[in-house]
């Protein structure tokens, strides 16, 4: 069987987790959390990193920091994971969905401005598959309309747009370390803070609404409840699991990119014959091989191909059901403009096995099974 995903692992995780256990400190914000934080700060160049229990929670922190109030509108793609919208809906916001570009599956930057109203508060671009959204255009719109940009960078660690790391363009960027992502601590994430003025409040929100971070730095002599907040700190056990992967980040990234290029090269003849479409990466984007997907003719062909792959013990998956068509999306959100590509493209997309440690003979086999499907 060729699984769709295998959680990343370097082989040193047990050693690090054992160190965390034996250190006598397993709650958050210890040595391993600090090491993750420092790695992310130096790798991305953002002003401050706060490790979190998930990307979902980093997005919730972003919504609090953006001061989202009931009735505020937040612009985002409909083609994304539920957390992108949920984090803002939980603060009473109306998600305003904008169509995607069919080439990158990212929000169509040319359609964003039309969705701006006096109630618009934020834009949440999602860097799908670790391919950057058109941040120059998005930041320009945000500047002119005084909007906050919070990047859903769940899939984008180690990827960049015009040479600058994803997650460092908006006021904040939200990273995921879920087991399906390139680097993982099981469940986990990080808030990358780029707007310096948000740092102090972010630390408070992160520490259950208290000024404990200032207390730990010796800036005040007791800490109290000063704002709303929650428990967003991951345990040291999780941070210890992540650290060896961050140490090996370049190696993991290279291995994933090699798999991606191999899929791309082997499947190119099928795409040239017009059977499938391959992913597109704009020249100014450096991606991180978060996923390899193909596009079939339509949903029926995709269903048949998934079954064909499964018959040959290859697991492939599709996503997302567009949020505007889901029960909650219909109730609390709205789609601005026409759904030209979101639904249509989402029904054609199929993700192939992609993980650190995927063997070249397995990629060969997956591609052979796909070619066999189209030769019939
Ligand atoms: C994985 C993912 C999330 C959620 O990440 P968690 O760490 O599981 O909360 C959010 N947005 C996108 C685009 C994702 O791919």
Q: Which residues contact 276 (CB under 8 A, 6 or more apart)?
A: 267, 270, 294, 295, 296, 370, 374
Give yes or no for residue 155 CB within 6 A of ligand 1: yes
Domain coverage including residue 64: 13-245
Region 48-55: what's the mean pLDDT?
98
The per-residue pLDDT for 376 is 86
Distance from C-alpha of 85 to C-alpha of 91, rounded to nearest angstrom:
10
Question: Backbone dihedral region of 313: left (phi > 0), alpha (psi from -120 to 50 degrees) or beta?
Answer: left
Region 1-5: what's the mean pLDDT?
97
Report the predicted TM-score, pTM, of the whole model to 2 decimal places. 0.98
Answer yes or no: is 1 within a domain.
no
The per-residue pLDDT for 67 is 98
Ligand 1 atom at minimal distance to the Cα of residue 127: 13
Answer yes or no: is 348 within a domain.
yes
Region 103-131: what's the mean pLDDT?
98
Answer yes or no: is 5 within a domain.
no
Examine the fold and report which residue of 218, 245, 272 is the final residue of a domain before the chain moves on. Answer: 245
For the chain, the average pLDDT equals 98
Q: Are 173 and 47 contained in the same domain?
A: yes
Alpha-carbon distance values, 33 to 17, 26, 235, 238 (Å): 12, 10, 8, 9
Distance from C-alpha of 232 to C-alpha of 39, rounded to nearest angstrom:
19
Give yes or no for residue 151 CB within 6 A of ligand 1: no
For residue 115, pLDDT beyond 90: yes
Q: Are 88 and 231 contained in the same domain?
A: yes
pLDDT cut 70: percent of the chain above it: 100
Q: Are 185 and 290 contained in the same domain?
A: no
**192 touches 168 (CB < 8 A):** yes
The per-residue pLDDT for 74 is 99
Distance 286 CA to ligand 1 centre (A): 20
Q: What's the pLDDT tens digit per position in 129-186?
A: 999 999 999 999 999 999 999 999 999 999 999 999 999 999 999 999 999 999 999 9
Answer yes or no: is 236 within a domain.
yes
Distance 265 CA to ligand 1 centre (A): 29
Region 284-298: what's the mean pLDDT?
98
The residue whose C-alpha atom lies closest to atom 2 belonging to ligand 1 is 154
Distance 321 CA to ligand 1 centre (A): 15
Q: What's the pLDDT tens digit per position in 178-220?
A: 999 999 999 999 999 999 999 999 999 999 999 999 999 999 9
Distance from C-alpha of 187 to C-alpha of 205, rounded to nearest angstrom:
20
Q: Are 240 and 135 contained in the same domain?
A: yes
Distance 306 CA to ligand 1 centre (A): 23
Examine the fold and report which residue of 212, 228, 245 is the final residue of a domain before the chain moves on. Answer: 245
């Amino acid at each position: 069987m060729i699984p769709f995903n295998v959680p990343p692992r370097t082989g040193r995780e047990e050693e690090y987790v054992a160190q965390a256990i034996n250190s006598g400190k397993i709650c958050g914000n210890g040595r391993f959390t600090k090491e993750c934080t420092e790695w992310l700060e130096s790798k991305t160049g953002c002003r401050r990193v706060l490790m979190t229990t998930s990307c979902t929670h980093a997005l919730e922190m972003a919504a609090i920091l953006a001061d989202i109030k009931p009735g505020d509108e937040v612009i985002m793609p409909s083609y994304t994971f539920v957390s992108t919208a949920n984090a803002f809906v939980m603060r009473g916001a109306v998600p305003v969905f904008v169509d995607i570009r069919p080439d990158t599956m990212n929000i169509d930057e040319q359609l964003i401005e039309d969705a701006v109203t006096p109630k618009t508060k934020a834009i949440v671009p999602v860097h799908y598959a670790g391919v950057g959204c058109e941040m120059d255009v998005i930041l320009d719109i945000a500047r002119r309309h005084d909007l906050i940009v919070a990047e859903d960078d769940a899939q984008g660690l180690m990827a960049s747009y015009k040479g600058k790391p994803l997650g460092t363009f908006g006021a904040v960027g939200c990273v995921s370390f879920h087991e399906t992502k390139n680097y993982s601590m099981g469940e986990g994430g990080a808030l990358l803070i780029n707007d310096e003025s948000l740092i102090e409040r972010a630390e408070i929100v992160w520490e259950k609404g208290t000024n404990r971070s200032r207390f730990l730095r010796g800036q005040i002599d007791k800490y109290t409840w000063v704002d709303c907040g929650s428990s967003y700190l991951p345990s040291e056990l999780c941070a210890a699991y992540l650290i060896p992967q961050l140490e090996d980040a370049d190696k993991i990234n290279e291995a994933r990119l090699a798999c991606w290029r191999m899929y791309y090269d082997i499947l190119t003849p099928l795409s040239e014959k017009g059977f499938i479409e391959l992913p597109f990466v704009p020249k100014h984007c450096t991606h991180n091989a978060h996923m390899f997907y193909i596009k079939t003719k339509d949903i029926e062909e995709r269903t048949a191909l998934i079954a064909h792959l499964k018959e040959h013990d290859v697991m492939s998956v599709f996503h997302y059901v567009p949020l505007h068509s889901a029960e909650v999306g219909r109730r609390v959100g709205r789609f601005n403009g026409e759904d030209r590509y979101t639904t249509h493209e989402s029904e054609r997309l199929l993700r192939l096995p992609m993980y650190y440690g995927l063997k070249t003979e397995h990629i060969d086999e997956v591609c052979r099974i796909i070619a066999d499907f189209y030769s019939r």
